[in-house]
Amino acid sequence: MALLRPRTIRGQLIASLVLFELLVLAVFAVFLVHEQQKELQQRVDRRLEYQGSQLALQAGAALAEGRSGALQGLVSSMLQYPSIGSVQITDLQGLTLVGTDSSLNGKLNLTQVERNYLRGLEAPMLFTLKDSVREIVAPVKVNGELRALVWIYPNEEADRLQMHSLLRITLISSVCAILGCTLLATFMARTITRPLNVLTQATRQVVRDPEDTSSFPLQISSTNEAADLTMAFNMMVTSIEEQRAGLNDTLALLDSMLANAPIGFAFFDRKFRFVRVNQFLANMNHSSISRHLGRTVFEVFPESASVPMQQAIDSVFESGTPVQDLELTGELSDHPGRVRSWLMNIYPVRTASNAVRWVGAVIVDTTQRRNSEDALRKTEKLAAAGRLAASIAHEINNPLEAVTNLLYLVRLQDSLPSETMHYIDLAQHEVARVSEITQQTLRFYRQSTLPITTKISELMDSVLTLHQGRVNSLQVEVQRCYDQDLELFCFAGEMRQLFANLIGNALDAMMPGPGRLVLSVRHSRSWRDPDIEGVRISVIDTGSGMSEEVRGRIFEPFFTTKEATGTGLGLWVSAEVVRKHHGTIYIRSRVAVDGQTNGNSRSGTIFMIFFPFARDEKAAAEGLQADAQKA
């Protein structure tokens, strides 16, 4: 039934009109056929009465004149009428006297119904047999006395053909009327549905692309209700466009704030899954936004942080009360030993019905702040130790000068034996060595605030002097490849700090020893621009080497592989020194194989640093001081 039900106004209008026409025509056809049949029956009855009466009169006249043989001619002449099928004349007992079928003469062939009319018939009588066949019987009187009966059986084929012709004409007229009304209904439906189709297409276009309103306002070509509907639709689209413009501005502002805010934003559903994050949070977690959406807090944060975070989110969903200043820490699964910390403020996101639909979180990565605090404490300890070391070196340096003078006076004595003189020379040498160490220590503490031209080899040797004890204890072979005359305009103290970091890390990598340390200072050209000349400094060790992951992070602040003694600031400061002097640094490293580290030529690290020569020392000094102020 649903398939037969039109889904368009045009189809419904046409179908309704056709159904109405069919009902009207059916009623009209039934009424017409009934009236035609009634009228036809009346005509047949009148004709039969007339024909029966005439035949009875003629038969009576023939019998009155004694012409019984003329009855057969009368009966046969009746067959010239197409409406008569057969005729017979019987006596009062029902025996056939004459008939159109002469083989029935003298026989009784009347039905039981017909026999009922053999007695007492005074006038012609019409009656119907059981097969709806009409028949007439008329009395034949001679001088007022009933002598015989005339039976006429009509031929209904002509009447049937006439009725069929009438039905055919009625059917053709009905079909023509239906087609005409259908065409009229189609035209009327098209007039009605054309603006509705335009509205439908416009609505679908708005649904497909709400931003595309190029086809609006719709043209109005009529003055009926469809025109009012089109006008209302145009007004609605205009209003929606204005509201969308305001909403888009608001959403653009909110999205811009969410996307570009220098703080992490996230929203969670009741299953603790991320439903939205901003790019800052994704970058904070070293992942993409798509890698967050749909994942739970357990899949993004470490367990030690995700458990209290889930409890806080669940509490906000249940109570609707924000959770503020939630501090979390956890060790990253993909970076064992690396601990991160976060500060979170969790709040409910409510719907119009005041129900908590989502839970939002403002997330701040406090790892660097914690590391900075730890490093600040360690740096303060190191600064205190440095000040103490400088004080001790200063105090040691004063008596060393007195001891040096006393040894000099003792050596002037002529009566001393040669063995004693040898011991005095050894004592002077060791005192001079201690004095040199104290002088280098004081140089680290009392760094110059202005750049100067200095020899790189002397700076390298002064730093190596401070590490001489570790070099001897680790049995490290030191190989110097210096160009003694190379000078560089730089901050000498910062260069000492740079070399101290590199040499100290090299000695740490070669523990527990032995190993080989190569220090190279030579004239070179820049790797990036061969026209730039400068100094290339290389620090090469045969230590354990660095993995790819470690090598990618060594210049990050607070990153260290020496948990007990390292601060994670040495190489970061070294990189700043290189950048400040407009230098470049290149690193190559190979990890130890099968646990073989020290002395193995197949493992180790190479630090190569290039510093360009200053063409104008005054301009270079101003640039270095400006960089120092920025730092």
- Per residue in 579-602, pLDDT (tens digit) is 888 899 999 988 876 545 444 457
Angle 306-310-315 (CA atoms, 0-180°, nearest 5)? 150
Burial class (CB in 10 A: 0-12, 13-18, 19+), 204: exposed
Topology of domain 9-161, per CATH?
Answer: Beta-Lactamase (3.30.450)
Distance of alpha carbon 489 from alpha carbon 625, whole angstroms: 12
CA distances from residue 106 to 98, 116, 135, 150 in whole angstroms, order as listed = 8, 19, 21, 15
What pLDDT is stored for residue 519 in this prediction? 92
For range 134-145, the mean pLDDT: 82
Domain 261-365 indexed as CATH 3.30.450.20? yes
Minimum mean pLDDT among 60-64, 350-354, 626-630: which range? 626-630
Could you identify the residue written with the tokens 């990890």? 591
Minimum mean pLDDT among 240-244, 246-250, 298-302, 383-387: which range? 383-387
Which pLDDT band holds residue 610 (cuts at 50, 70, 90)? Answer: very high
Strands 356-365 and 264-268: antiparallel
**Which residues have CB under 8 Å from 561's CB, separation 6+?**
550
> Quick check: pTM over 0.85?
no
Which pLDDT band holds residue 1 (cuts at 50, 70, 90)? Answer: very low
Q: Name the average pLDDT for the chain.
A: 76
Structure tokens at 492: 């000498």
What pLDDT is stored for residue 385 in this prediction? 60
| Strand blocks (E) in 332-409 | 339-350, 356-365
What pLDDT is stored for residue 274 in this prediction? 87
Q: Give the right CATH number for 450-630 from 3.40.50.300, 2.40.128.130, 3.40.50.10490, 3.30.565.10.
A: 3.30.565.10
What pLDDT is stored for residue 601 in this prediction? 52
Which pLDDT band holds residue 32 (cuts at 50, 70, 90)? Answer: confident
Length of the chain: 631
Residue 535, pLDDT > 90, answer: yes
What pLDDT is stored for residue 5 in this prediction? 57
Residue 63, pLDDT > 60, answer: yes
SS3 577: helix
469-521 tens-digit pLDDT: 888 888 899 999 998 888 888 888 788 888 888 888 888 888 887 899 999 99
183-200 tens-digit pLDDT: 777 777 666 666 667 777
Helix H segments across 69-156? 70-77, 112-115
Residue 15, pLDDT > 70, answer: yes
62 pairs with which residues across the strands? none
For range 429-454, the mean pLDDT: 66
367-421 tens-digit pLDDT: 777 777 776 666 666 556 666 666 666 666 667 667 777 776 777 777 778 777 7
Minimum mean pLDDT among 88-102, 233-247, 470-484, 593-607: which range? 593-607
